[in-house]
Homo-oligomer: A and B are copies of this chain.
């Protein structure tokens, strides 16, 4: 099976403003009036405030629900396990465990698979795509939000090797999109309060704030949130926007901390250390000779991360090929959940590593073959939510751990995490990567400690657990500055920032040596999404616009027959049509594409503007024909009301009478009169930069006489990837073979 890289499923978003007559008219009426401007600015802050608060409340809901449910589940299981005979393997609790997990994961998976498939996975790839300018269907819909938020509770409590951080980020993005539009498609309700924010660009800005709020909520990391939003999403850094994003993620952090401080019975004490996600690290000392060790761990993390991504890519391709029915997706999720708890249960009973029960807080452990007053270390790792496991790996004493237990746990969790990411449940991968890394870090520490001649206190294991976690996560997600800040903020320790940075830098370098894509980029590629990376492929200077553009172009005349517009809309799937001068051409009324009137080079009329499909549909729907002379009825609002979903052309046709089909429409006041255009001699490099920097959806290619010769869309550009063969680089159109 070979998927064409350009999946037809994905449309593009348009971050370039259409400055048509009605838009300019509205702007001119409004903009001299300072009050309207101030009002808009004020509304924007209010919307941001609500996004921040709602994201925090959602996150609180997820955190508290997960916490409570997991706690019930583990207590129930522990009671059952403690009822067992201590000497022999006991099956009853395992069946209970399997039953509970399978049920929970089944519910979560059914919800995602049947109701909102886009809610599967972490959500970070789709948010990235949205900010990049790709319209992944249903990505910011209310039902996606519900599946994502509720689904992640089921998958985490259901014992899968997943985290809730990615889904929280996606939830933040959906909240932002919903709140900023003041309307919901699912509820068919439009408050019309926020009509001025109804365009792709405004919505994108709010969504980037929502994503930042999501990170802030997931990790308690407001600055990390802003950086995440910028590193993964933004193309044009705007100070005012950053400023709002920052405010949003700060509001989220505050709201979250206030609610959680009440939940933890420390109401209002915002500096209560329990609010720090993975437990607060105290003073960590380090000396210069430790730096190479951190770099080494970073390298190991990079290798493991690359391995993780590579295995996951192969698994995902197998999934694409064989597990493509809904029931099989649910079945796989349920199978993994059962498998996970079987592994966990076996390890708890088979691994004989026991530890003295000194700490009172360890009530979430069981004996499982250990002596009285001891507990199984494996149960300490498995019988907890993934976040608690991280906290335990980070903060417990060094004498808790033996290399055997850590090694077994490390290997099992690595493969579980690799296998789990990509199944049809709402699931994040930050937490599993951190668990694997922290275990690896502790393991490394134990090995080094044993090989060193004197077992002196040259360092402590907590430090290495943290470094290991950073290294592994860095190798998997390949983020740099935002990840550094997130790690610093979640551990509440800044002194140890530089070692974390070193680790992450080396980890990314080494990971990139093996494969250039982060796990998110892999899934974006697998979904065949026309994503534009930061930089054009370096060979793109060798390709000309004339080679990448689509031609022939379907152009409309500035005053066009209704009949032809309907035909064009019916026969063509394009979203934008160049408008050309009427005088010079004699169109055959029947044909949808224009024949060039000069022999060479082929062109389609003098370029005057660009009109979008939905604008044409609105014109037809409102029956704005020259013969009716009702242009005065249109305002900028007429077009905005249709945003973001316009009716398909099939619904409109029935409204148009045969008489009306002979009418004509003047497209000039509606079209964008000064869209960006490029000469046919421009290189792909130049076109790429224009698209990326300005968030374009279409670019018309003109010849030296300003006559339309082609049109370039995002897909035409995203198609070009670079590959390397025997030290030589080639540009090619990417295909994915499954």
**Chain A positions near chain B (C-beta within 8 angstroms):** 17, 19, 23-24, 27-28, 31-35, 37, 222-223, 226-227, 230-231, 234-240, 242-243, 246-247, 250, 253-254, 257-258, 261, 268-271, 280, 283-289, 291, 480-481, 484-485, 488-489, 492-498, 501-502, 505, 508, 534-535, 538-539, 541-542, 545, 581, 606-608, 673-674, 676-679, 681-683, 685-686, 689-690, 693-694, 702, 704-706, 724, 727-730
Contacts and interface: CB of A to CB of B under 8 A. Distances in A.
Nearest to A494: B494
A699 to B, nearest CB: 11
Contact of A501 (B246, B493, B505): B246
Contact of A34 (B253, B291, B727): B727
The 5 closest A-B pairs by CB, nearest first: A674-B682, A706-B706, A693-B693, A268-B288, A237-B237
Contact of A608 (B24, B505, B508, B704): B704
A111 to B, nearest CB: 34
A280 to B, nearest CB: 8
A80 B575 CA distance: 83
Given A242-B481, A270-B291, 13 more contacts: A17-B685, A27-B541, A27-B542, A32-B539, A32-B728, A35-B727, A234-B237, A237-B237, A268-B287, A489-B494, A489-B497, A677-B679, A689-B694
B498 A253 contact: yes
Contact of A706 (B24, B508, B682, B702): B702
Contact of A270 (B37, B240, B288, B607): B288
Contacts of A34: 724, 727-729
B288 A236 contact: no
Contact of A541 (B28, B37, B226, B690): B28
Given A236-B693, A498-B222, A681 B674 contact: yes
21 contacts: A19-B685, A23-B541, A34-B724, A34-B728, A223-B485, A226-B481, A231-B239, A242-B481, A243-B481, A246-B481, A247-B505, A250-B505, A261-B288, A270-B286, A485-B485, A606-B705, A673-B679, A674-B678, A674-B679, A674-B681, A689-B694
A374 to B, nearest CB: 35
Contacts of A238: 534-535
A495 B492 contact: yes
A534 B502 contact: no
B288 A271 contact: no
Contacts of A284: 271
Contact of A681 (B230, B505, B673): B673
Chain B CB count within 10 A is highest, among A289, A690, A729, A730, for A729
A548 B223 CA distance: 40
B239 A236 contact: no
Contact of A694 (B257, B493, B690): B690
A622 to B, nearest CB: 24
B683 A19 contact: yes
A653 B539 CA distance: 40
A517 to B, nearest CB: 13
A676 B284 CA distance: 53
B535 A32 contact: no
Nearest to A246: B481
A683 B673 CA distance: 10
Contacts of A240: 534-535
Contacts of A539: 31-32
A493 B730 CA distance: 49
A237 B132 CA distance: 13
Contacts of A254: 291, 498
Contact of A31 (B236, B258, B480, B542): B542
